[in-house]
Amino acid sequence: MAAEAKYSIVREVGRGSYGVVYEAVANQTRSKVAVKRMHCNVPENVELALQEFWALQNVQKRHENVIQLEECVLQSGQVFQPISRHYRKSDHHLLLIETCLKGRRCMDPRAACFLWFVMEFCDGGNMNEYLLSRGPDAQLNNSFMQQLSGAVAFLHRNQIVHRDLKSDNILISHSPGGPVVKVADFGLSKVCQGKVNVNQHRFSSACGSNFYMAPEVWEGHYTAKADIFALGIIFWAMVERITFRDGDTQKELLGTYICQGKELIPVGEALLENPSMKLQIPLKNKKSIPDDLCRLLHDMLAFNPKERLDAFQLEVRIRRISYGKKRQRSGS
């Protein structure tokens, strides 16, 4: 990439329909970075790439639990152009936006087009792999729940709704104080313009991953509270180690569901079919979840989004739960 003078690719660490992620080294500082290359060959890919760029650019302050974008470079053929809110939009950048708006490719079809995202490198993989490679740990779960609640509250304060929260889209970075979670993969996110209340701003395009989607997302009319439902699914699965196999990749994934015969039904879909259904929390072991955490999960997974916690209420409530906290020895 243009940034070849700045970065050296070390190895490929991930690949999907969106593109490829590499581990790289910043040549000047020798620090590790992650480089995501997104192929902008069709309008759908362009929209995913630009939505990720817009979301990460909208975060003007750093948050420890949100992945940090270092820079973004647009490649068109052999031409490389850094893009950010501080640069004047180049012709290639404007054509990329036009492609997204018109739903057809507006760039030169003969020139390869990519967006390169340079981000902080997370050495612990994703949260799904991290947790499933270890035994259950209530204190670790509590730490992850607090970190994720803070991250989502931060995003919502910045008018960003993620819309695809799941354990695969949460990365882990090791630190002296313990593992740090990083919310990543903002390709389906939306930035609400102006100082709007994200809990009242309505979206109409259903998106996300089935097992984490709130009932109202299945209907196509939802707000930022859909992110809280997804977090509820993640927290519940994390605490009880509930998993399912992805039909496409056969990977074991953390996620809760409703059993109907031999079929696994996403919780949101099941609630949409039967809004009065009482969720069985805990699912496996009655002693695995204390009452205050049970109530919290029920409040995160409420069928009616008006009765569901918002991110700011969750951030406060999560600090009060007894689950996973170190027991203090009483003085003699």
Q: What are phi and psi of 91, to 5 degrees?
A: -60, -40
The one-letter code for the residue type at 254 is: L
Q: Are 109 and 103 in contact (CB under 8 A)?
A: no
Q: Which residues contact 240 (CB under 8 A, 6 or more apart)?
A: 256, 282, 283, 284, 285, 288, 289
Residue type, 332: S
Write out the binding residues for ATP: 36
Is 277 in contact with 270 (CB distance < 8 Å)?
yes
Residue in 164, 185, 227, 310 annotated catalytic: 164
Q: What is the DSSP letter of 104?
A: S
Whether residue 131 contacts residue 238, with contact meaning beta carbons closer than 8 Å, is answered with yes
In whole angstroms, how large is the CA radius of gyration of the chain? Answer: 21
- Residues in binding site: 36
Q: Is 108 a catalytic residue?
A: no
CB-based burial label for 287 (10 Å; 0-12, 13-18, 19+): exposed
Enzyme catalytic residues: 164
